[in-house]
Every structure is written in C-alpha cells, then in structure tokens.
Amino acid sequence: MDEIAEQLKNYTILCVEDEDGIRKRLVNTLKYYFAEVYEASNGEEGYYVYYDKRPNIIISDIEMPEKNGIQMIEEIRKNDLTTIVIMLTAYSSEEYLLNLINLNINHYILKPVVSDNLLSGIVKAFGNKLQKKAIFSEDMYFDMGKRELYYKNEIVILRKRDKSFLLLLHENKNRVLTYSMIEEYIWKDKSMSMSALKTFIKELRQRLPIELLENIPQEGYKLKLL
C-alpha cells in the first residue's frame, strides 16, 4: 500500500460535497495521498473547478443543491471520458447503481465514508493505472513510482511534459490521442499552437531511443505498437 500511496502523489483530485463537515474531513484525508486537492460545495461550482484545474480524478456526492453530482458528471462526460470519477452515495439498489455505470463512472463508495473504504475505493477506481510499470516495449518501461522511463535498464532523460505525454499515450493506447486532448491534458491552461506541438514532438522523438509515436494526419498521435 505504501507504493500505491507514493504513486497517488503524482495525481490531482477534486472533491465535491455540499456538507461542509464531511467535505473538510474528506479533503484533509485526500491531502495525505494526492499532489493537489481541489474542493467545491455543489455540482455547479464543481464543474467550474474541474474546467479550470483539470484534475485526474473527481470524487463527488450525488445529492447537492444548484446542480447535483449526476448532472455535473453528465456535463463533464460530454467531452471527457478519461478523468476518473467516484460517486459517494447512500443508496445501494441495483437499478440505482446501474445508472451510475451508464454514466461511465469508475467506482462508487457507500456512505458513510471512512478512511479505509475511501482509499480502497480510489485504488479500485484507478484499476491498472496504478500498476508499477507502464510497458512500452520489451526493453522500455515507465516506472510509475519513480516517474522515470527506462530503456534496457538505463534511465532515459525526459522533461516533465514528455513524461506526462507518454503516460497519456499509454492510457489511450487503443485510440488516437487527438490534438484537443493533448492541449487539454498536457498544455492545460495554456494555448497550444500546432508549431509548438510539432516542436515538442520532434524534441521528444530525439530523446527517445526507439520510435514510439505514430502520427495520424489531421487527428493527432497514437502509441506505435511494437
């Protein structure tokens, strides 16, 4: 569990909960595990914080004023199927939980939430993203704990943005990583020009000992199958 806790420090999380006392306890616990913890008191505010900060994971209550958790996630899922979502719910009926699955929600945690089921729920939601290694080829892998890329057991020197891009490619290895996704998750709050992207890709290719990137004209990039 220590290795998992170390990996979680590479991620950011948004906590959306309308009850101040519950939200404060959740945020204090999450700060122990995550690099950054953002918070919001309802779905409306939660959506704006999500749009501004682009967290890796969202944990949200369902019943909230102004905009509930389901409405917030429906809006987010229109353009984002990557961000991990965990819902907090007091209901456990099969029909109710099936509706959550249809929203492409990664996991749910039954209330009341305690530290143990919070952490185990987060780990389950991440699935194999919390694996120790992201394998790129027989000789190349990314050590998730150390945040380093290795080729033939030697560290490949990369910039922070290079590493984020490779991991995003790996997470989406069965589909094209579009220009808009790259701008949203790698450039984040900055504007990405095509010339800047081309320069970034060119320099990354020069750093990599083998070719990992496949250019899909007019669309984006995908991981080259080796």
How far apart CA 125 and CA 136 sit, in angstroms, is 23
How far apart CA 19 and CA 37 sit, in angstroms, is 17
Banded pLDDT at 173 (limits 50, 70, 90):
confident
pLDDT at 93 over 60: no
pTM of the model: 0.64
**Res 144: pLDDT:** 77
Banded pLDDT at 110 (limits 50, 70, 90):
confident
pLDDT at 164 over 80: yes
How far apart CA 12 and CA 209 sit, in angstroms, is 30
Q: Compute the average pLDDT of residues 87-114.
A: 76
Please check whether residue 142 is in contact with residue 149, taking contact to mean a CB–CB distance below 8 angstroms: yes
* 69-77 and 43-53 helices, crossing angle to 10°: 30
CA angle, residues 212, 214, 219, in degrees to nearest 5: 140
Banded pLDDT at 189 (limits 50, 70, 90):
confident
